[in-house]
Amino acid sequence: MQKPYVIGVDMGGTNTVFGVVDARGNVVLKSAIKTGAHPNDVNRYIDDIHDELSKLIEQVGGLEKIKGIGIGAPNGNYYTGNIEFAPNLPWKGIIPFAKLMSEKFGIPAALTNDANAAAIGEMTYGVARGMKNFIMITLGTGVGSGIIIDGKLVYGHDGFAGELGHAIVVRSNGRVCGCGRTGCLEAYTSATGVARTAREMLETGNKASLLRNVPIESITSKDVYDAALQGDQVALDIFEYTGRILGEAFANFVAFSAPEAIVLFGGLAKAGDFIKKPVVEHMERNILQIWKGKVKVLFSELKEADAAILGASALAWEL
CB of 169 to Zn ion, least distance (A): 10
If the CB atoms of residues 115 and 177 are measured against Zn ion, the closer one turns out to be 177
Q: Is 184 in the site for Zn ion (CB under 5 A)?
A: yes
C-beta of 184 vs 271, nearer to Zn ion: 184
The correct pick among 6, 135, 177, 268 for binding Zn ion (CB under 5 A) is: 177
User: Which stretch, 22-30, 101-109, 149-157, 164-172, contacts Zn ion (CB under 5 A)?
Assistant: 164-172
Minimum distance between the CB of residue 196 and Zn ion, rounded to whole angstroms? 14
CB-CB neighbours of 243 under 10 Å: 24
Per rule CB under 5 A, is residue 245 in the interface with Zn ion? Answer: no
Where does this chain touch Zn ion (CB under 5 A) — which range of 81-89, 130-138, 176-184, 269-277?
176-184
Distance in Å, CB of 185 to Zn ion, minimum: 8
Least spacing, CB of residue 256 vs Zn ion, in Å: 18
**Rounded least distance, CB 145 to Zn ion, Å:** 12
179 binds Zn ion (CB under 5 A): yes
Inter-CA distances, 288 with 41, 167, 285, 292, 294, Å:
51, 19, 9, 7, 11
Of 11-19, 184-192, 194-202, 258-266, the segment contacting Zn ion by CB under 5 A is 184-192
- Smallest gap, in angstroms, from Cβ of residue 42 to Zn ion? 27
Between CA 139 and CA 153 the distance in angstroms is 19
Give the β-pairing of 76-77 and 66-72. unpaired
Provide, rounded to whole angstroms, the least separation between the CB of residue 186 and Zn ion: 5
* Candidate ranges 147-155, 170-178, 198-206, 277-285; the one touching Zn ion (CB under 5 A): 170-178
Largest CA distance in the chain: 67
SS (H, E, C) 141-201: CCEEEEEEECCEECCCCCCCCCCHHHCECCCCCCCECCCCCECECHHHHCHHHHHHHHHHH
Give whichever of 66 and 184 is closer to Zn ion, judged by the CB atom: 184
Of residues 47 and 85, the one with the C-beta less far from Zn ion: 85
Please identify which residue in 16, 17, 147, 166 interacts with Zn ion, judged by CB under 5 A. Answer: 166
In the complex, the residues that contact Zn ion under the rule CB under 5 A are 166, 177, 179, 184
